[in-house]
Structure 1
Amino acid sequence: MVSLLAVPWFVLETTGSAVLTGLASFATTFPTIISAAFGSSLVDRLGFRAASVWSDLISGVIVLAVPALFLTTGLSYPLLLVLLFLRWLTTTPGETARKAMLPDLAEGAGVRIERAAAAYDGVSRGATMVSAPLAGVLILWIGPSTLLFVDGVTFLLSALLVGTGVSRVARSGRESDGYLNDLRAGMVFLWRDRLQLSATGMIVIVNLLDTGVTQVLLALYARDVAADPRAFGLLTGVLGAGAVAGTIVYGAAGGRLPMRLTYGLCFLLAGVPRVLVLALGAPFPLALAVTMLSGFAAGAINPILGILQYDRIPVPLRARVIGTMTAAAYVGMPVGGLLAGSLSALAGLHVTLLAFTGVYLVISVPPFVFRSWRELDQPHPAGV
């Protein structure tokens, strides 16, 4: 989250261009598609814990290189794009590995998967809640380049925590058939499971929109409307705060809620209100309140998706299918930053926010109308 705030502001500060900020967003999102598509086979070969540790170590070194070069020999914009590309190329295998090991760790700890999935997502949301407003303040205090030093160190700490504090988890038990065959196996499984295919399609679009909002539109809003980078951090932070609360509530009560209706309503509320309130030019305190409400709704989305994956994906295919779904979910993200930056430059921030609101609304429809979503209330055991 520190990177997601510091890098757009760094680019805006050094170039003053919304289009170049969108291009930097492209460089941070496009490699995740490649990495997620082909990295799951590497995760299987290395093992879940080792893949997580190596991913964080390499990512941390690359992040540290950005401010180090900027403050010493100089950092050109093309070189920044290359470093951003490499940094996100190495990050996704670690995320896949940590998600794939969660069911086994939960079983070993005697924790229900609903509670474990909610806790896993809640920690991520909590990091957003804390780091986003903190990053907004630190951008003013120490500058975005120095802030990236802090971000690089956090990757190294993550590698240390996972390497020394997480039990070794057995590998999938299935040997790799090669990168292309592994990718094909994941795609075939996903294509046959229409519920997960529909859910992935929704996430493709919403990730596209969220990338444009988070990495471009909020930065432009903070600069052009609020005239304060702390607004960027506060909006992102209260979204995370609401999501933490929503995740906690779902972890406690999710087993008693209808999954399809819960998912559909939360998906709708997570996207539409927080962008619409900015488009309508509401007072900033009201924008913060609505954003927190949207975050609360978003808190249930990832745990439900996680439960859906763990219930329906056989263990030997877990890393490969999750990697395939991650790659598919990320495919629109590079377009989101470019679209937000380009449309803002052509039509203005207000029109862009309204356009994004409309798409958020349309993409929230499937759980309410598609028959395949009825299966969400009747999860199948993995392997069926």
Structure 2
Amino acid sequence: MSLRLTRPRMQRIPLYGWLTAEAISLLGTRISMIAIPWLVLTTTGSPTQTGLVAFAEIAPMVLFKACGGPLVDRVGPRRMAIGADTLSFLVVGLIPVLHHAGALGFPLLLGLVAIAGALRGPGDAATAALVPALVERAAVPYERATGLSSAIDRGATMVGAAIAGGLVATVGAANAVAIDAVSFGVCALLLLVTTRSLEPARVEATSEPDRHEMPTSYAAELRDGWNVLRRDSVLMSLAVMVAVTNLLDLAWSAVLLPVWARDSGAGIGAVGLVFSVWGGASMLGALVAAAYGTRLPRFATYLVAYLITGLPRFVLFAIGVPLWVILAMCVIGGASSGFLNPVLGAVTFERIPREMVGRVTALNSALCWSLMPFGGVLGGLLISGMGLSTAMLVVGFAYFATTMAPALIPSFRGMNRQLPATVEPTPSPRDPLQLVS
């Protein structure tokens, strides 16, 4: 009887360990997003060099995420995630060490940041590729895992900036980067200890090799992943849609929102307040989606959530409403946005063949991130050309058109649930989970 009571909890240890590692990793990322640019700005005084550092991290991350999928499938997502975190601990840790030694020139910093971005690409892809195995092992719906992950992401956004600002102010930017480095090491250790049961079983060699198991070239595996993505109209269309919304969201957060704070007199404190309220409401929405998402129709949830979280935000900023109205909108829009990642994540994982989850999720994620480096440029050009209010409306209606286009495409009804809401647990607690890698 005792074994029956404890077995479900034991099966969920990998999921809980993964979620804990996600929380630590995201907080570390939020710290580095503020600490590294501030370190560059205070040591060089150059906004241009500060921008170059951001580009040096994002560009390799997108490139290596796109190209690293077959490696994730070959090595296995668990081993790749642990390896990437371990190497990131060493690479990011060199930044504060070299800075305090007086040996951190700008070209060397660019190189280290680029290597860190290159490691983060396949590392993030491998972490995401663990989800199907975690869901199967824990016997929970996809919405539960993706919803909890999304809630952690939103919560990290809410508190991460405050923690980062406090760390930079009290211990300095370089030491804050050191804390980010330590977070990579902690994540690697957590995954190593809590996800042992996700190791693939050893397969005995057979007398006649299966033709499906014959080795293929890396390029062929990458091409196979791309073919799966592009031939699935729902996955491909969602990836393009998210890429465009990421572009527009970055234009808003990086340029339009700070300019609004300056021109309206609200001040930079209002920017932090908007992000905190939005992030907190979004975290609550994601928690509700994690608990009740399986009862909701995915396609309808997608449409309603984007209707609420999209265009109204930009219209209110454009017409110049008081700050309290903006914050009320952040509560409603943020809570609605919390339902999106659980839905989109569940749709994505259900439609990808298990043996190709690494390469397809990596390509999908890279495509979603591909336009983000240009968001700030877009926001600046729009404000320079047409003013803040018009720029807000242009971005808002572009957001509306992009997110509502699926309503006109019948194939998007395929977003609705493809698999049973729960996955049966593995037959025996002694049998390791089968992972194709």
Q: If the TM-score is normalised by the length of the shorter chain, which range does it land in? A: 0.7 to 0.9
Asked if the contact 1:114–1:255 (Cα under 8 Å) also holds between the matched residues in 2, the reply is yes
What letter matches 1:339 in structure 2?
A: L
Rg (Cα) greater in structure: 2
| Cα gap change, 1:21 to 1:182, in 2 (>3 Å) | same
Classify the secondary structure of the residue corresponding to 1:365: helix
| Paired positions, count | 381
User: How far, CA to CA, are the matches of 1:153 and 1:140 in structure 2?
Assistant: 19
Is 1:44 matched up with 2:62? no
* Aligned with residue 118 of structure 1, among 106, 130, 147: 147
Asked if the contact 2:144–2:291 (Cα under 8 Å) also holds between the matched residues in 1, the reply is yes
- Look up the match of 2:348: 309
Once the two structures are TM-superposed, the CA of residue 169 in structure 1 deviates from its matched residue by 2.2
User: How far, CA to CA, are the matches of 1:13 and 1:336 in structure 2?
Assistant: 24
Asked if the contact 1:27–1:84 (Cα under 8 Å) also holds between the matched residues in 2, the reply is yes
- Look up the match of 1:333: 372
User: How far, CA to CA, are the matches of 2:287 and 2:109 in structure 1?
Assistant: 38
TM-score by length of 2: 0.76
RMSD: 3.2
What letter matches 1:111 in structure 2?
A: V
Instruction: Flag structure 2 segments of 5+ consecutive residues without an equivalent.
Output: 1-29, 204-212, 424-437
* Aligned with residue 87 of structure 1, among 111, 116, 132: 116
Classify the secondary structure of the residue corresponding to 2:102: coil
Q: Is the deviation greater in 107-116 or in 63-72? A: 63-72
Q: Is the deviation greater in 87-96 or in 355-364? A: 355-364
- Look up the match of 1:187: 226
| Cα gap change, 1:130 to 1:320, in 2 (>3 Å) | same
What letter matches 1:5 in structure 2?
A: I
User: How far, CA to CA, are the matches of 1:15 and 1:210 in structure 2?
Assistant: 29
Classify the secondary structure of the residue corresponding to 2:418: coil
| Cα gap change, 1:24 to 1:209, in 2 (>3 Å) | farther
Asked if the contact 2:298–2:417 (Cα under 8 Å) also holds between the matched residues in 1, the reply is no
- Look up the match of 1:35: 64
Q: Is the deviation greater in 347-356 or in 101-110? A: 347-356
- Look up the match of 1:369: 408
Q: Is the deviation greater in 265-274 or in 49-58? A: 265-274
Is 1:129 matched up with 2:152? no
- Look up the match of 2:290: 251
* Aligned with residue 104 of structure 1, among 133, 138, 162: 133
Within 5 Å, give how 1:1-384 maps onto structure 2. Answer: 1-10=30-39, 22-73=51-102, 75-170=104-199, 177-215=216-254, 226-228=266-268, 231-340=270-379, 352-377=391-416, 379=418
User: How far, CA to CA, are the matches of 1:30 and 1:119 in structure 2?
Assistant: 28
| Cα gap change, 1:36 to 1:351, in 2 (>3 Å) | same
Q: Is the deviation greater in 103-112 or in 155-164? A: 103-112
Once the two structures are TM-superposed, the CA of residue 11 in structure 1 deviates from its matched residue by 5.2
Once the two structures are TM-superposed, the CA of residue 195 in structure 1 deviates from its matched residue by 1.0
What letter matches 2:150 in structure 1?
A: D
Once the two structures are TM-superposed, the CA of residue 280 in structure 1 deviates from its matched residue by 4.4
Once the two structures are TM-superposed, the CA of residue 287 in structure 1 deviates from its matched residue by 3.2
User: How far, CA to CA, are the matches of 1:62 and 1:268 in structure 2?
Assistant: 42
| Cα gap change, 1:154 to 1:194, in 2 (>3 Å) | same
Please give the per-residue CA displacement for 1:59-98, whole angstroms capped at 9, x wherever unaligned.
2333333344444426555444333322121112222222
Asked if the contact 2:63–2:121 (Cα under 8 Å) also holds between the matched residues in 1, the reply is no
Instruction: Flag structure 1 segments of 5+ consecutive residues without an equivalent.
Output: none
TM-score by length of 1: 0.85
| Cα gap change, 1:156 to 1:250, in 2 (>3 Å) | same
User: How far, CA to CA, are the matches of 2:373 and 2:222 in structure 1?
Assistant: 21
User: How far, CA to CA, are the matches of 2:175 and 2:137 in structure 1?
Assistant: 41
Please give the per-residue CA displacement for 1:358-379, whole angstroms capped at 9, x wherever unaligned.
3222211222211111222353
